[in-house]
Amino acid sequence: MNESFETTATRFPTYAVVAVSGELDAYTVPQLRECTQRLVGDGVERLVFDLRRVTFLDSTGLGALVGIKKRLRAGEKTMCLVVEDDQPVRRVFEITRVDKALPIHPTVEAAVHDCAGVA
């Protein structure tokens, strides 16, 4: 297990913000999936993944985010990501064109507004 990886979920009435920090890779993806499953199981329908503290993102982490999006969409749920424009992992989303499939915002506030419909 990666000691530097952490997910912290903050619940609100209609959505949750999941702050992710550390390396999102093959070793830590199970923790992210577990966190997501727990929140969805508790009735959360909109998720905002705050990835501003992610220091590394590999193909497994990228694939997990796409997979979470597909599962949420199948259950009529939504998700958005928070990745700053100058953040190194932002380039991974752009190179793979995943930024076209997953809504990415530079701030939590913008993501919450888009994903959770909170003004």
Residues whose CB falls within 8 Å of the CB of residue 66, separated by 6 or more in sequence, listed in order:
98, 101, 102
Query: Cα separations (Å) of 28 from 85, 89, 107?
Result: 24, 16, 23
Share of the chain above pLDDT 90, in %: 88
Q: Mind listing the domains of the chain with CATH numbers?
A: 6-116 (3.30.750.24)
Residue 110 exposed, middle or buried by CB count within 10 Å (0-12, 13-18, 19+): middle
pLDDT tens sequence across 58-112: 999 999 999 999 999 999 999 999 999 999 999 999 999 999 999 999 999 999 9
Residues whose CB falls within 8 Å of the CB of residue 65, separated by 6 or more in sequence, listed in order:
49, 81, 98, 102
State the amino acid at position 26 in one-letter form.
Answer: A
State the amino acid at position 119 in one-letter form.
Answer: A
For residue 2, is pLDDT > 70?
no
